[in-house]
Amino acid sequence: MKTKTLYTCQKCGYQSAKWLGKCPDCGSWNSLAEEIVGRDGTDTTAGVSVPPVSISQAGGEPERRHTCGIAEFDRVLGGGLVEGSLVLVGGDPGIGKSTLLLQATDHLARSLGSVLYVSGEESPRQIRMRGARMKVQAPELLILAETMLEKILTQVHRVKPAVLVVDSIQTVFTSALESAPGSVSQVREVAGRLMMLAKGSGIPVFIVGHVTKDGSIAGPRVLEHMVDTVLYFEGDAGHPFRILRAVKNRFGSTNEIGVFEMKDGGLCEVKNPSELFLAERPLGVSGSVVVATLEGSRPLLVELQALVTASSFGVPRRTTIGVDHNRLALLVAVLEKKVGLSLAGQDIFLNVAGGVRLNEPAADLGMVVAVASSHLDKTVEPHTIMLGEVGLAGEVRGITQPEVRAREAAKLGFSRCLMPAGNVKQVKGVKGLELVGVKSVEEALEKLF
């Protein structure tokens, strides 16, 4: 039989009949690799036509969920693992992807029956040694060291597991294609076969995906579109905390996060992350403030630290860790124009303590106050918390769910809360917390300093 050769972009999956130096689709240079994508003469389009049904009659029963024994993991999944779902778990090397799945499958094996853990990177002996350290010893947890998809599917049909884990998708290949494991065509074909297995048999499937230098799942973006749920592990190598975030979830919210702490015995749940993030907060130091951010339905209190110092270069630096660099530049311009602070010749460094990332604008007021506090060398009262979005005119705008944030602050011992004046009336019944409404950045700084 004749084989068909195409050049496939390893970044976006674009295919060309000839080699190109630059991908016309995504613009990447030297990303097209030669792949043998299939053989002529095979017909895979034949199938049985299914008639359309009314939306009121489609599906019938609601989805069935199984708890994984880890409350933070179940929270991110939307309440548990859905039967027949395909879940992609991504993250940097060593972040804890395999550790979390090993702990979750241990509980699933004890409650549901046999669970098949397929590893293409580690031997069964290595997994057993790691499992012994984490006290993962469920007899129904079956380990298979295999990389050929056809052999994996054979074992699945023989064992009939309640849950299947494939670690990782970049190491598995199918003999139907002659390209190398981890290539675009192999990843796409293997993921498609696993999706058909999950939907056809009702077996939930976890697949682990490597992350590239730019933070995206290695392989084509179509991989994220094929699966039901995409989970990303975030965390700094220098911090023990790990955050599991849902980027896509067809069976739940994408706003929920799970917080874990890496210890010798594996990943441990963090029941009260706000208290943990503020445990080492310095008191009486300029440039340190606390803000309340919202991750899904969970309020998080985190510390913002700013350092403003005279620049020794012609162009002052604006460095951020955990917040958007452009957002800081915008807020510094507001401080200069609307408040009158001279920051043009100052280096400004802003950090979110604990390795957390702040993506919502409710932290704007805290960023402004932290920079002003460090520049003026004036401390903020330790039991004061900041809430509010800052506009280009220097106004403090309202935020969502202020009462949830205020209650979390009161629970952790804060006695004063600066928030937008428009949100003060929405917060009711929070004992021990003084609510101070502000309409502008200038008014907020006057009440603090």
Strand partners, 19: none
Strands annotated E in 277-376: 288-295, 298-310, 318-321, 346-352
- Determine the pLDDT at residue 44: 42
**Percentage of the chain exceeding pLDDT 70:** 92
Question: Tokens 């130091």 identify what position?
Answer: 285
Alpha-carbon gap, residue 158 to 146, rounded angstroms = 15
CA distances from 228 to 89, 205, 390 (A): 11, 10, 36
Is 98 known to sit in a ligand binding site?
yes
Question: Tokens 């050049």 identify what position?
Answer: 7
- Determine the pLDDT at residue 185: 80
Alpha-carbon gap, residue 26 to 339, rounded angstroms = 43
Confidence of residue 327 (pLDDT cuts 50, 70, 90): very high
Is 84 known to sit in a ligand binding site?
no
Average pLDDT over residues 258-282: 87
Is 95 known to sit in a ligand binding site?
yes
CA distances from 317 to 307, 363, 375 (A): 11, 21, 15
User: DSSP H helical segments within 289-436, as ranges?
Assistant: 325-334, 364-376, 402-411
Specify the pTM: 0.75
Q: Pick the closest to residue 182 from 283, 35, 80, 292 (CA basis).
A: 35
In this predicted model, what pLDDT tens digit does every residue of 61-119 receive, in sequence order? 677 899 999 999 999 999 999 999 999 998 888 888 999 999 999 999 999 999 999 99
Average pLDDT over residues 338-361: 90
Confidence of residue 310 (pLDDT cuts 50, 70, 90): very high
Which bin fits 219, alpha (ψ -120 to 50), beta or left (φ > 0)? Answer: left
Is 96 known to sit in a ligand binding site?
yes
CATH number of 276-448: 3.30.230.10
Residue 1 has pLDDT above 60, yes or no: no
* Class of the CATH domain delimited by 65-271: alpha beta
Alpha-carbon gap, residue 270 to 253, rounded angstroms = 20
Q: Pick the closest to residue 364 from 397, 318, 337 (CA basis).
A: 397
Segment among 2-6, 18-22, 260-264, 402-406 with least mean pLDDT: 2-6
Higher per-residue confidence, 11 vs 385: 385
Alpha-carbon gap, residue 295 to 147, rounded angstroms = 37
Question: Tokens 């915008």 identify what position?
Answer: 330
User: In the structure encoding, which two tokens stand for residue 172, read together?
Assistant: 């598995």
Alpha-carbon gap, residue 329 to 327, rounded angstroms = 5
- Determine the pLDDT at residue 284: 87
Confidence of residue 34 (pLDDT cuts 50, 70, 90): confident
Strand partners, 242: 260
Is the separation of the CB atoms in 389 and 435 below 8 Å?
no
Average pLDDT over residues 200-218: 77
Alpha-carbon gap, residue 151 to 166, rounded angstroms = 13
Is the separation of the CB atoms in 7 and 20 below 8 Å?
yes
Average pLDDT over residues 320-339: 94
